[in-house]
Structure formats: structure tokens, C-alpha cells
Amino acid sequence: MSIQAELQKLAPDTLIELFELDLTPFGGQMQYFHSGVNELGQELVFNGNAYTPWPMQASGFKKSAKGLQGRPKLVMANVTGLITGLANDYQDMIGASITRRVTFRKYLDAVNFPGSVNPNANPEAHISVEKYSIERKPSEDDVMVEFELSSPLDLPNVSIPGRVVVTNICRSIYRGGECGYAGPAVADSTDQPTTDLAVDSCSQHLSGCKLRFGEHNPLPFGGFPATNIIAIG
């Protein structure tokens, strides 16, 4: 059964909320947290990752199509001092990435169930996968640490869509990964033939792409020629 079908049930399966804290940019490691345990009373495993049982409360993950996104809050228990230790080691973890995954219990790895049997296990089944950054640490004591998160959409100069639709201009870097051309010199930036690699440069137009890959072959063109025939308004 698909995750969409499960969502439409009158009594869907138990929701599972998972958090992944990425400290690798700070020289640390990935940290995995979940507020409970699996059916065996052990750490929950999803997609091969073991999520440490940790008392925590997450709130404010409501999405909005208007204005700035909300600032979710993540409150984590601190009685062992682990969270304070991480904060001290990694600059309060400001700027660290946090991924929130939501799935159903039925899709967890088989090792979470008696006999390691779960025919429904599916690491690709997500209700949502949301990425946030730690914006600030409003409070901290021996009992709990509170973090305020921000959405990437709240960053300055970020717009949607991230890629502008341009009719006949390729936005890929010539000879780069998206372009994929690695052959000999063909033409300069005005599509004039050349055998000099120092002069070789794509015009970034469809014509330049055809010169390198062929008139009737599939083209890795990074523009949107079809927008010429679409009427807007």
C-alpha cells in the first residue's frame, strides 16, 4: 500500500517523527534522535540509521504560503549534559542543519520488529522531509535546551523557483557536469568554427548545443525552448 493510501485511511498507522542533526560542517558527526523506542524497547532504526531515544518536544512546523515561514522550536532534554556538551563543542550549533523526517511506523526497518520481520519496510516512504537550520539557542539549563529553527526559505535573497525559466539561454556551465561535453574544440561564443581549445566557448544557445551533440540527438540543453509557444495571461 502506498503512503498516499495510508494517509487517506480513517485510522492511519502511527506517525513517527525523526530528527537528524548534521554537525559534519563543524568537524563533528551526524546525530540521530527520536523521542521514543521501537517495539523491542531499543533505539529505532530507519534506512539503516539508529535514532537515539531522547526526550524532546518539537513544535511550530506549520507551513505557510504567505510571508515568512514559522520558526519551529525544538526542546531537548539535557539531564545528562549531552546537549550542552554538543553546544559547547560546536559553537552552540548555530547554523547546523536539522532534517525532520515524518513517516509511518509500518515503514520502519525490519530490525525494529519481533523476529526482524516487516514486509512493509520502506526507507523511501516519507510523509515529509524538511530541512531547517539552528537559528539560535533561546534557553538552556540542566533540564532542557531550547533551539529555534529557521527554514531555508527565510534566508535573504532566496526565491522560488530557484531556477529562472529562460527560453533560449542555457544556464549550465560549458563542459561542466550538467553540460557533459568533453570533446574537441568546436566553435567560439558566436558559433564560429574553431579548432583552438583556448577559443572554444559555447554560445549558450540551442545552436551551440547542436554543434556539439548533433542536430537530431538528445541535447543536455539547460534552457526552455518550449516556452516560446506558451501563451501566458
Neighbour count for residue 210 (Cβ, 10 Å):
15
What mean pLDDT, rounded, does the chain reach? 85
Helix (H) / strand (E) containing 50:
strand 49-53
Give the three-state DSSP class for 187. Answer: strand
pLDDT score of 228: 55
- The residue to which cell 500500500 is assigned: 1
Q: Using one digit for the tens of pLDDT, what is the confidence trace for 66-96?
A: 555 568 999 999 999 999 999 999 989 999 9
* pTM for the structure as a whole: 0.64
Task: Divide the 233 residues of the chain into consecutive groups of 10 and give the mean pLDDT of each group.
Answer: 73 92 93 95 96 94 60 93 93 92 94 95 90 93 94 57 64 82 91 92 90 89 66 41
Give the three-state DSSP class for 191. Answer: coil
pLDDT score of 230: 44
pLDDT score of 229: 47
